[in-house]
Every structure is written in C-alpha cells, then in structure tokens.
Structure 1
Amino acid sequence: MSFSIVGEHSCNKLEFKNIKDPFIDGQYKLNRIDASILGIWPEQSLFWRILLPVLHTLFMTTIIIPEVRRFIQVLDDLDLFMECVPSFIIIFAAGLKLYTVSLNNKAFTKAISKMRKDWKRFDNPITGHVMYKYAAIGYKGTFIYQALLYGGVFMFITLPTMPAVLDIIIPLNESRNRPPLFETDYGVNPDDYFVLIVFHAFICTMQLIHTFSTVDSLVFIMVEHCCGLFEIINVILNQFNDETKNYTENEQCKIICYAVDVHRRAIDFATFIESTFSNMYGVIVLANMLAISMTGVMIVVEMNQKDWGSVARFSVYCVGTMFHLYANSVPGQQLYDHSEATYNAVYNSNWSMLSIKAKKLIGFMLVRCAHPCKIAAAGFYEMNMENFGSVMQTSMSYLTVFTSMR
C-alpha cells in the first residue's frame, strides 16, 4: 500500500543516509560477513551452508574429546567435576546458537527479505530517518557487545600464560602453577606441550566467542529493526496530535490503515523472532544459570585454597556468563517496551478530531496493542530485565546449595 505522510518534517540530511541494502552497503555489512564465515548467512550457497557448520563441529570435537577424557577421570572428585562442567556448557551453548540459525535458513531468508523491503518502503524523510536511527542503534549495540565480549575473552585466555611470563621476568626457585583454559586430558604431559595446548584452547575459544557474538548480534539487529517499525507507527499516529491540521475522513482512514499495516508487519516480525529463538533461549537461560552457580562455587573453593590465578580465571568466566545472559535479556526488554509504547501512542492520539469510521479502525488497533510483543524462552520465561534479576537470585541460591554439598 503506497502512502505519503501528510505534512512537512525537517530532517538533518547529514543524519539521514539513504541505504539501499543495509546488509551490503549499510551498517549490517560486518554482521553479514561474520555470519558468512560460520556458514549461517541465509543467502550463501547450500554448499557453504553445509560445509562450514560441519567444519566448525569437527573442529570443536578436537577440544571435546580431551575434555571428555578429563571428565571421566574426575567423576569421583566433586571439585574437579565442577571445574569441567562450565566448559561443556559454553561449547553446547555455542553449538545450539549456530544450528538454531543454520536449520532455520528459509525463515531467516524471508526475514532478511522483509527487512530489505522495509528499507525501500520507508525511504522518505520521516520514516527513513527512523529506520536509520534504529539501524545505527543496532550497529553501535553490536559493536559494543562484541568489543566487551572479546575484551573479556582476551583477559580469560591470557591468564594461563601469565605464570610462564612471570617465571621469565621474576623467576622463583620453582615453576609457578599454570592453570589451563579448559580441563582437558590429551594423553600427554601438559608441561611438555604447554604452548601447543594453550594455542589449541585459544583457537577453540575464539571460535566459540565468534559464534556467540555473530548469532547474538543477528538477533539484536532484527529486534532493533522491529523496534523501528513500532516507532514508525508512533510517528504516523502523532500526526493526529497536530491541531493545526484538519484531515478529511478519507485522509484519517488512510493514515490509520497505514499504521495498522505497519503494526501488522511489526507483529509478524516479532512473532518470527520469538518462534525461532524461543527454545534456544530456554536452554541458554538454564545453562547460564548452572554455569554461574558452578563457577561461583569454584571461586569460593579457590579463594579458600589461595589459588589466585584460578580465582581470576573463574571470576572472568562467571562475569562473562552474567554479561551474556544480560545481553540476551536486553532485546526482549526493548521489544516489549516499544510494542507497549505503540499502545500508549494509540491511546494518547487525539480521538476527538477523528470521524466515527476512523475511531472504529483505531479501536481495533488499540485492542491488539493491549498485548505487547515479547520473547518468551521455551514459552515460560520472558526475556526481560526483571527476569534477569530473578535468574541471578536463583543462581545464587543454587550456588549456596552446591557449596553445602561439598
């Protein structure tokens, strides 16, 4: 449905950029490249979409096998057992994210196609400004998220090398303890092959973090696009609050019908996000809760043993897990807030100036807006900041239980 918003709008042309394809010449280009490296970009050929995820899985198997060997060895030692579990969790979570996108290729192809159509459809001084604004938010948000994620990983992977460096700079009568990145058993003396083991763990860690950052960034970009659609509805309906404009009944109905159409597109896009990632988020929340609890226990254990290197390692892991859960909760909160804001925009519009026919149309929209969009993990847990706090409290409760079991 073609539509031209009535009235004029002053827009700084330096702020608005006409982006024909945000995934090629716009803000999302780097995210498309990251997804292509993993083989989860929907528009890649079938060959690469099969080969790259399989290669990722095979490569991660090279760290899973030594971890399983170590896991079997320490089944009778609760402390060592709990040291092994977090690494299994992060590998499993990364694989889950990777294959959630990979196996929903057709749905993601349609979603990206809709995003491109929206960019073309809303290419005008008002709605185009909104689209660019939320694209910029998505780009900056993913950049900050990835910077913090890789910054934390850099701290994590440098910890095992610090004792070796200190042995050179400030040598002692004996070598310092060298904590591993992962609890593994390669069947060789770890001191003799320390460099190779650390290098292998480093490559695996970077592969895992790349998967996390790529999939999470893709979700964040789609949520921001959906939020932009809700904001466009607010812009359209705010025209009724301009008392200097006298719209005819036909113009009123056109404006409302256009808002209803955009609202439908926003709801469909939000439904796609929830249905695609619901089960994934359900598992991620439970896995993060378990990882936070177990790493918290290990921090307490290592503090009692005064092993400060291990304390630092588990602290970085624990904080990183909390940050990951927080970053996955933010998009759900944003989606809820923007869809709820649409309800307020409909409710606060100038009803008195509308015709009876227009009031009936906007009334139907108000009924649908009464149920804000959300992202429900596994259908029972809403991804928002309130529930993030509840998960943190539950994790602390589990930490207490695990500590008492020792």
Structure 2
Amino acid sequence: MICIKTQYFNLNRILLLAIGLWPYHQSKFVRFQAFLFFSILTSFIIFQLTAFITTKCTPEFIIKVLSNIMVSTAYIIQYNSFWMNTHNLKCLLEQLQNVCNELKDKNEVAIFEEYGNISKYLTTISFAMCGAFNALFLPIWPQILGSDLHINVSQSRQTMQIVTEYFIDQEKYFYFILLHKNVVICIGATTLTGTGTMFIGYFIYICGVFRIASYRIERAMTTKIRENINIENQTMIYKDIIDAIEIHRKAIKFTDFISSTFSGSVSLLIIIGVVSLSLNIFGIFRNASLGDKESFLLNFLFVLVILICMFVGNYAGQEITNHNNHVYFAAYNSRWYIAPLHAQKLIFFILLRGGKSVNVNIGGLIVASLECFTNLTKTSMSYFTVMSSMQE
C-alpha cells in the first residue's frame, strides 16, 4: 500500500517540521515554535518600517525599503495561511490517502505513483534552489569573506542592503542584528519552499486523480464494448463509469476545497507580488544606472523568485483545468453511442459537467492559468513604467 506522507511528502514534512507547520503532531512545543517564528518574521517588518522614522524619506529610499517589506510580508502571509489552516491541510492529505487506498488496479496505482514522483522531484529541485538562494542571499557571507580576505569590517558591513532601524548602537550590537536578519531569511526561504511545494504537491495529486478518472472512462468504453455486451459486461460498464464519475467528483471537490480555503491569503499574495515585482524591477534599473551592484543583485534575486512563484502557481492551476478537460474529451471521444442505454445516460452526466470548466478560482476574480501569469506580469510592467515616468 502507498503511504503518500512517507513516500512522496517526506521532504515536505522535513521542511514544514523545521518551521513548525507540519499538520501532524501539533504539540505545545510545536505551537510555541510556530508562534516564535511568526513573531520573528513580524518583528523584521516592524524594524524595517521604523527606518522611515530616522531616515529622510526620499522616493528612492521609500522604494528600496518597500521592495524589501513586500517580500517579508509575503513570508508572513504564507506562514500564517498554513498555520491557521493546519486542520484543513491534514484533512486534505488524509482524503488523498483514502483515494490512493481505493485504487482499482495496477494501472491506476502506476498513474498515482507517476504523479507522486513528479511531486517529489519538484520538491527536491525547490529544496536545492532554496539552499542556493540562502547561500547567495544571507548577509553572513560578507562577514566570512571579510575575515578571510582581510577586508575592512566597516566596508563589509555596508554590503547589507536590507535597511532596518533597531534604535540601538548598530556597531555594538552588529552581530545580534546580523543574526536576526539571517534567521528571518532562513525562516522565510524555508516557509516559501515548504508551503509552496506542499501546494504544488496537492495540485499534482489532484491532476493525478483527474487522470485516473479519464483512465476509468477509457477502460469502461473500450475494453468492455469490444466484447459481447451481455448482462455481466453491462454491469461492469455501469460500475466503471460510476467509479469514474465518483473519483472525478472527488477531484473537483479537492480543487474547490483548496480554492476556498486559501482564497484570501492567495489574493493578498497576488497583490503583494505584483507591487513587489514592479518595485524590484524599478530597483534593478535604478541601481544599474547608479552602479550599485549589491542592491542590483538583491533586486534581481527578488524579481527572479517572484516570477518563479507566479509562474509555478499559475501553471499548476492551468494543469488542473487541462486535466479536467481531458476527462471531458475522454468521455466525448469514447464509443458511447454503441454502449448500453443506461451507460449512455451516465456518460451524459460527465459530458454535462464537462461544459463547466474546473479551475483554481481565487476570490471569484482571478483564475490561475498561464493567461493570468501573463496579465500579472503585464500589470507589474505597467506600474514600473508609471514609476519610471514619474521619476523622470
């Protein structure tokens, strides 16, 4: 029997356990861990906002601070959405396990394993990218390189491009401030990777469930139709089509459940993502003209991460729609017209449902798709153009 938690979600489990968000075994210590990490992420935004009190607020300074604050806010929203929906995530994982336990034959198991392996590979790649991101982004590296290469300490400290104000002696408590920033970056990157890959894993499994529904329809309308349609074969056709309708209904239910559960948080993330993308693109061109390589690299990394997250999320939503359409096409292209009358009536239910697209609907306004990704990118570029024209 397949255990999806250990076979395909094991790396997700490790990442979420590290930040206290794994939906199982929620002890008092884990709840305290989650509260502590959430407080650390929140405090970092506060210390960035306090920079406006002690520094002259020029347009360049405001854009620089806001571009960093937007990314930190996205971390908090993502963390909080998982923290508040621990029970729902656990229920969804158990329902997917129940679907796996009810698979009918080895071909269905093979389909489920294929999509499970895709989820595991994507999680592994994301984990590697998270490690590379931390290696490039952590502000501890200038200190290490500075000590090894005998670089002036004050010069090394100026390479930290995230502006904060702690209202303490920056030189005296420098390493405590550095520790705070490093911890925030590690928690944020782990949150983004762990929760993001968990979302994508759910979507991949839902695609697998849709694919199994297509397989059941194809099997019912090909194998059995070729044989003599006697009473026994008619009963098997009815049963296979009913099973296909049932698992198709479960896939739709899973999709609607995720959409409704995370609609609010994803809507906020989209707004923050669009604004942050505009600010960081503006920062790239601004810092390139000024020759500020460190700030340029920071903005470039933020833009890269935001675009990857936007694309992956919308691509997953597009795949949900495509796999649902495949169920409709499998029913439409089958030899339903020579099937028994009662089987034709069952197929009609699938065709009728296929007229309504299944998609990841966010707040009733946005549908996750490649078209949505294009529109969000265009919107960000429009905001960037406005900021550039105002700057000139």
Give the TM-score normalised by the residue count of structure 1: 0.87
Alpha carbons of structure 1 residues 244 and 150: separation in structure 2 relative to 1, 3 Å:
same
Change (3 A) 1:151 1:225: same
Q: Which has the higher helix share?
A: 2
Residue 233 of structure 1 pairs with residue 233 of structure 2: no
User: Could you say which residue in structure 2 is the equivalent of 1:370?
Assistant: 355
For 1:275 and 1:264, how far apart are their aligned partners in 2?
16
Q: Is the 8 A contact 2:336 2:347 kept in 1?
A: no
- The reply to whether residue 395 of structure 1 matches residue 380 of structure 2 is yes
User: CA offsets, 1:346-386, max 9 Å, x none?
Assistant: 11111133111110111011111222221122221111111
Counterparts of 1:52 and 1:245, CA distance in 2: 61
Which has the higher mean CA deviation after the structures are superposed, 391-400 or 197-206? 197-206
Aligned with 1:214: secondary structure?
A: helix
| AA partner of residue 277 (structure 1) | F
Q: Secondary structure at the match of 1:185?
A: coil
**Residue 321 of structure 2 corresponds to which residue in structure 1?**
336
State the Cα deviation string for residues 15-41 of structure 1 (Å, max 9, x = none). xxx42x2213x1212212322333333
Distance 1:287 1:114, change over 3 A: same
Partners of 1:379 and 1:114 lie apart in 2 by 25
Task: Choose the corresponding residue for 2:60, options 68, 79, 98.
Answer: 79
Q: Over the residues paired in the alignment, what is the CA RMSD in angstroms?
A: 2.4
Aligned-partner SS, 1:374: coil
Q: Establish whether residue 165 from structure 1 lines up as the match of residue 150 from structure 2.
A: no
State the shift of 1:136 in Å.
0.7
Identify which of 185, 193, 200 aligns with 2:180.
Answer: 200
Q: Kindly state the Cα deviation for residue 195 of structure 1 after the two structures are TM-superposed.
A: 4.4
Q: Tell me, in whole angstroms, the C-alpha distance in 2 between the residues paired with 1:60 and 1:177.
A: 22
Matched pairs, number: 385
In 1, Cα distance between equivalents of 2:249 and 2:60:
53
Which of 122, 125, 148 is 2:103 aligned to? 122
Q: Is the 8 A contact 1:336 1:374 kept in 2?
A: yes
Aligned residue among 98, 116, 122 for 1:135: 116
C-alpha offsets along residues 251-297 of structure 1, whole Å, 9 cap, x if unaligned? 22111111111111111111111111222221111101111111111
Following TM superposition, by how much is the alpha carbon of 1:305 offset from its aligned partner in structure 2, in angstroms?
Answer: 1.5
The alpha carbon displacement at 1:310 in A equals 1.6
Residues 27-36 or 207-216, more deviating: 27-36
What one-letter code is carried by the residue in structure 2 that aligns with 1:154? A
State the 1:300 CA deviation. 1.7
Q: 1:93 aligns with which of 71, 74, 77?
A: 74
| 1:42 aligns with one of 23, 28, 31 | 23
CA shift, 1:120, in A, is: 1.1
Residue aligning to 2:191: 211
Residue 154, structure 1, aligned to residue 135, structure 2? yes
Q: Which amino acid aligns with 2:204?
A: E
Q: What is the TM-score of this pair, normalised by structure 2?
A: 0.90
Partner SS for 1:212: helix
| Structure 2: distance between partners of 1:401 and 1:347 | 48
Equivalent AA in structure 2 for residue 110 of structure 1: C
Label 1:256 to 1:168 Cα distance change in 2 as closer, same or farther (>3 A).
closer
**What SS does structure 2 have at the residue aligned with 1:328?**
helix
C-alpha contact 2:19 2:187 (8 A) present in aligned 1? no
Q: Does 1:22 align with 2:7?
A: no
User: What are the Cα deviations for residues 92-132 of structure 1, in whole angstroms up to 9, with x where unaligned?
Assistant: 22221222222223322321221111121116311111111
Kindly state the Cα deviation for residue 395 of structure 1 after the two structures are TM-superposed. Answer: 0.6
- Deviation at residue 230 of structure 1 after TM alignment: 0.6
- Report how far residue 45 of structure 1 moved: 3.0
Give a deviation string over 1:171-230, Cα, whole Å, max 9, x none. Answer: 69x947823242112234545555443332122101011111111111111111111111
